[in-house]
Amino acid sequence: MKKWSAVIVLGLAQFVMVLDGTVMNVSISTVVVDLDTTVSAMQAAITFYTLTMAAFMLLGAKLGDVWGRRRAFVVGSCVYAMGSLLTALSPNVQFLFLGWSVIEGLGAVLVIPAIAALIADNYHGRDRVTAYAAIGAVSGAAVAAGPLIGGFVTTYFDWRYVFVAEVVIMIGVVLSARLVNDTTPRRTVRIDILSVLVSSAGLVLVVYGMLQTKVWGWILPLQSPQINGVDVAPLGISLSAWFMVLGAALIYAFVRRQRRLVRLGRSPLVHVEMFSITQLRSGLSVLGAQYAVTAGLFFMVPVYLQMTLGLDALQTGIKIFPLSVSLILFSVAGTVLSRFWSPRRIVRVGQLVLVLSAGILLGAVTEDLRSLLFGVGMFLAGGALGLLASQLGNVTMSSVGEEQTSEVGGLQGVFQNLGSSLGTALIGSILIGALATSFASGVATSGLSAETRGIVNERTEGGVAIVPSADVEKIAEQAGLDEEAATELATVYRESQLSSLRVAFFGLIVISLLALLLSRGIPATAPTARKPKQDAAA
> pLDDT digit string (tens) for 471-490?
777 777 766 667 777 787 77
The pLDDT of residue 238 is above 50: yes
CA-based end-to-end distance of the chain: 37
Comparing 118 with 456, the larger pLDDT belongs to: 118
What pLDDT is stored for residue 536 in this prediction?
Answer: 38
Q: What is the CA radius of gyration of the chain?
A: 23
Task: Report the pLDDT averaged over residues 190-212.
Answer: 86
Single pTM value for the model: 0.78
Q: Average pLDDT of the chain?
A: 81
CB atoms within 10 A of CB 507: 21
Percent of residues, the chain, with pLDDT higher than 70 = 89
The pLDDT of residue 460 is above 70: no
Q: How confident is the model at residue 400 (pLDDT cuts 50, 70, 90)?
A: confident
The pLDDT of residue 118 is above 70: yes
What pLDDT is stored for residue 537 in this prediction?
Answer: 38
| C-alpha to C-alpha distances, 286 to 57, 176, 416, 454, nearest whole angstrom | 18, 33, 10, 47
What pLDDT is stored for residue 115 in this prediction?
Answer: 85
Closest CA to 418 of 269, 199, 218, 271: 199
Q: How far apart are CA 173 and CA 101, in angstroms?
A: 21
What pLDDT is stored for residue 531 in this prediction?
Answer: 46
The pLDDT of residue 232 is above 70: no
Report helix, strand and coil shares of the chain as percent, to nearest 5.
Answer: 80, 0, 20
Minimum mean pLDDT range among 19-28, 239-248, 312-321, 341-350: 19-28
Q: How far apart are CA 480 and CA 483, in angstroms?
A: 9
What type of residue is 391? Answer: Q
Residue 444 C-beta-side C-alpha neighbours within 13 Å: 7
Closest CA to 334 of 140, 107, 128: 140
What pLDDT is stored for residue 85 in this prediction?
Answer: 93
Q: SS3 of 226, please?
A: strand
Q: How confident is the model at residue 459 (pLDDT cuts 50, 70, 90)?
A: low
Q: How far apart are CA 373 and CA 322, in angstroms?
A: 11
Q: Please, where are the H alpha helices in 268-370? A: 278-303, 313-337, 343-364
What pLDDT is stored for residue 253 in this prediction?
Answer: 93
Minimum mean pLDDT range among 308-322, 333-347, 452-466: 452-466
CB 10, CB 104: distance < 8 Å: no
The pLDDT of residue 502 is above 80: yes
Residues 6 or more apart whose CB falls under 8 angstroms from that of 42 comprise 24, 28, 31, 32, 93
Q: SS3 of 525, please?
A: coil
For the CA atoms of 507, 513, 515, 521, the dihedral, rounded to the nearest 10 degrees, stands at -170
DSSP conformation class of 22:
T
What pLDDT is stored for residue 529 in this prediction?
Answer: 47
Task: Report the pLDDT averaged over residues 370-396.
Answer: 85
Q: How far apart are CA 88 and CA 230, in angstroms?
A: 38
The pLDDT of residue 159 is above 80: yes
DSSP conformation class of 522:
S
Q: How confident is the model at residue 463 (pLDDT cuts 50, 70, 90)?
A: low
CB 9, CB 180: distance < 8 Å: yes
| C-alpha to C-alpha distances, 276 to 43, 166, 399, nearest whole angstrom | 35, 39, 11
Comparing 85 with 499, the larger pLDDT belongs to: 85
The predicted-structure confidence for 127-142, as pLDDT tens digits, reads as follows 777 777 777 778 767 7
Q: How confident is the model at residue 496 (pLDDT cuts 50, 70, 90)?
A: confident
What pLDDT is stored for residue 231 in this prediction?
Answer: 65
* Domain at 2-181+269-434+500-530, CATH class: mainly alpha
Q: How confident is the model at residue 76 (pLDDT cuts 50, 70, 90)?
A: very high
CB 442, CB 496: distance < 8 Å: yes
Q: How far apart are CA 169 and CA 175, in angstroms?
A: 10
Task: Report the pLDDT averaged over residues 334-355.
Answer: 86
DSSP conformation class of 186:
P
What pLDDT is stored for residue 82 in this prediction?
Answer: 94
